[in-house]
Structure 1
Amino acid sequence: MNESKCPVEVTPRIARWRIENIEACFWHQSKPFEIGRWNWHLSVEKNKQIIIRLFPQASTFAKERPPIASFVIRVFYFTGRRRQILHLEVCRRKLRDSSDFMWAIDPGLSGKVIIDVEFFDLKAAGVGEPVSIWGSNRLPDAIVPTISALRQLLADGAFTDITINTSDGTTAAHRAILAARSPVFCSMFSHNLKEKELATVDVTDMSTASFNAFLQYLYGFIKIEEFIPHRMPLLHAADKYDVDDLREACEASLAEDVGRGNVFVRLQNAHLYRLQTLKSACMKYLVEFGRIYDLHDELITFLRNADRELVVLVVQEVLAAWKGD
């Protein structure tokens, strides 16, 4: 066996393995790479056909909680200066060892080959109903010693002293908590502004559901099932009310599951809110891993509607990647 000297390049959902000369050995195996909760290997075996395998590295966790993976695997190879692509989409395949996924392709490939795996979903089997790992393993760091009492105060509406008017209703909160967690709220309630005099705050750019999720974060007991679907309005609220820890939590979570269905929206929000980590994750997905060429309609919409400065940045990155190739 020949273990490739080239490490596998990864984002949270994509792995890319470059083999400089596929003819050099009958069996190539990648170095281990981490995606989700597992370390993985790719391997290539040359016989009558070329066999590509994808499998988790042996471990106690992989044995007890094997991954159930949905992914597309692509093979890029070159005939002269022309790049060719083979691809295969796999849905809900349980991967326990190297025998669970094998893809036989043309044995005539030679020279440089790139194997690219993009995971659409990963679930852990073994205990109860498998659920997607993405968005299920990162809770915002918002724990406070009095979490139980604060949860009860908000749930009961006990001693609330401020009314929040949202876009579709009202909710109530405690000024002291809002002021302690947000310098913007603190300023509102410390000066003779209308919010202090009327004991109301108008938040017409958020729904009641989204603002309640915001309150749950400020009070310290938000659950992941509330956090994930409200990440974008929570990011807006974090920026508007200057809650830095929430802003960081939203950016980290959004960067974890950048994919074809959200990358352009997230790129625009990363630009709007000056989120460099999220912007880098989006640009890496689009340019470094070449997914911009698969999203023609979405790209046209983005070019027509996005901020001009951001459009120029994307075009410059694409041109730089071309020159680099």
Structure 2
Amino acid sequence: MTDHRVDTTARLAQWRIDTLASSSTYRKSDPFKIGKWNWRLVVEKNRNLLIKLYPEISSLNKESPPIASFIIQVVCSLGGRKTFVHPEIRDKQLKSNGDFVWAIEVPLGGKFIIDVEFLDLKTLSPNGSESCSVWTEHFTHKDFQATTLSSIGKMLSESIHTDIIINTSNGSVGAHRAILAARSPVFKSMFSHDLKEKEMSVINISDMSIEACQAFLSYIYGNIIDQHFLTHRLELLRAADKYDVTDLKEACHESLLDDIDTNNVLERLQNASLYRLPKLKICCMQYLVRFGKIFDILEEFTGFIQSADRELIGEVFNEVLSVWKGF
């Protein structure tokens, strides 16, 4: 590990600095990629400690500079763990190395970590009228013909010749056996054998709300919108696993990797274990242990240890031991 390398996950960057000279110092990190951009961190030490964050100059920056929302903090290990947190930055356009400068007046010595957690990254639309998050532009990778998708979606939204009723925990919605069977081997089995779903033309999904079920069906029919997908990701993940809709399960898996934070990391770690999502499990454990976020949620982590699966807890502690051996 060099003093210039920045470790990253999908939205988190950490720069570990072993020491700074007592006199004037200038140090620039290696480039690191978050979103569409390569970024740099800079530390300048003179009277104060200055920290700068900016995207590298490129044609992309000139045409569409990032509009960033992020939390930046410095964690110092000298004399006990001390954390200096800058007020949250919201929707700040960053073009050059002077657009974000943080002056820390407290002298820092010994090893310290600069921690940047990106909450969102946006770009302006071509006409400059509105901004769009780079993390919700393409959450699925479908390339169906628009007219076909529109027609199939209309079959659902207008209940055109529906032949099956789905009962949820708080309502019912109509659907089409053929489409459900084509997208899910579980549904296909239901309708191919003499099960009650075939005889009664009813499917009971009591562990799902009607709103989540409508999002599930919209995905199956190819016309789900971004916000509904993001709102119901965990219920969609459960349904995708239960009904063996593998592409939806993978879409949920990839999406859940994008916005891990201290509020959701423990829940996502448990879901990663429950639904066999290896990349999500690894990212959650790295976020907690390697990036030190476990210190920010010690109380919640204590509750997690008391209630979580023993095997999963063992994996977390193996990760802790592995990181400790590296120091």
> Fold conserved (TM > 0.5)?
yes
Which of 13, 22, 27 does residue 15 from structure 1 map onto? 13
Which of 86, 101, 105 does residue 88 from structure 1 map onto? 86
For the 8 Å contact 1:142–1:217, the answer to whether it is kept is: no
Would you say how many aligned residue pairs link Structure 1 and Structure 2? 320
Please tell me the residue identity of whatever aligns with 1:46: K
For the 8 Å contact 1:48–1:107, the answer to whether it is kept is: no
SS in 1 for 2:27: strand
Aligned to 1:46: 45
Q: How far is the alpha carbon of 1:60 from its aligned partner?
A: 3.1
Aligned to 1:245: 247
Question: 138-147 or 235-244: which moved more?
Answer: 138-147
Question: 251-260 or 139-148: which moved more?
Answer: 139-148
Please tell me the residue identity of whatever aligns with 1:65: S
SS in 2 for 1:89: coil
Superposed, 1:94-243 pairs within 5 Å as 94-106=93-105, 109-110=108-109, 112-125=111-124, 127-134=128-135, 136-145=136-145, 146-243=148-245
Structure 2 distance, partners of 1:131, 1:296, is 35
Deviations 1:204-229 (A, max 9, x none): 11111111111111112211122110
- Note closer, same or farther for the CA distance 1:263–1:5 as it changes in structure 2 (3 Å cut): closer
Q: How far is the alpha carbon of 1:67 from its aligned partner?
A: 2.9
- Note closer, same or farther for the CA distance 1:36–1:72 as it changes in structure 2 (3 Å cut): same
TM-score (norm. length: structure 2):
0.89
Q: What RMSD in Å do the two structures reach over aligned CA positions?
A: 2.3
For the 8 Å contact 1:143–1:220, the answer to whether it is kept is: no
SS in 1 for 2:131: coil
- The unaligned stretches of length 5 or more in structure 2 are none
SS in 1 for 2:5: coil
Aligned to 2:310: 308
Structure 2 distance, partners of 1:214, 1:108, is 53
Deviations 1:119-159 (A, max 9, x none): 2333335733435444x123223444421220121122111
For the 8 Å contact 1:55–1:97, the answer to whether it is kept is: yes
- The unaligned stretches of length 5 or more in structure 1 are none
Question: 21-30 or 295-304: which moved more?
Answer: 21-30
TM-score (norm. length: structure 1):
0.90
For the 8 Å contact 1:22–1:113, the answer to whether it is kept is: no
Please tell me the residue identity of whatever aligns with 2:129: G
For the 8 Å contact 1:167–1:208, the answer to whether it is kept is: yes
SS in 2 for 1:295: helix
Question: 63-72 or 310-319: which moved more?
Answer: 63-72
For the 8 Å contact 2:39–2:54, the answer to whether it is kept is: yes
Aligned to 2:69: 70
Identity %: 49
SS in 2 for 1:22: coil
Structure 2 distance, partners of 1:69, 1:264, is 26
SS in 2 for 1:58: coil
SS in 2 for 1:277: helix
Structure 1 distance, partners of 2:156, 2:101, is 53
Q: How far is the alpha carbon of 1:111 from its aligned partner?
A: 5.3
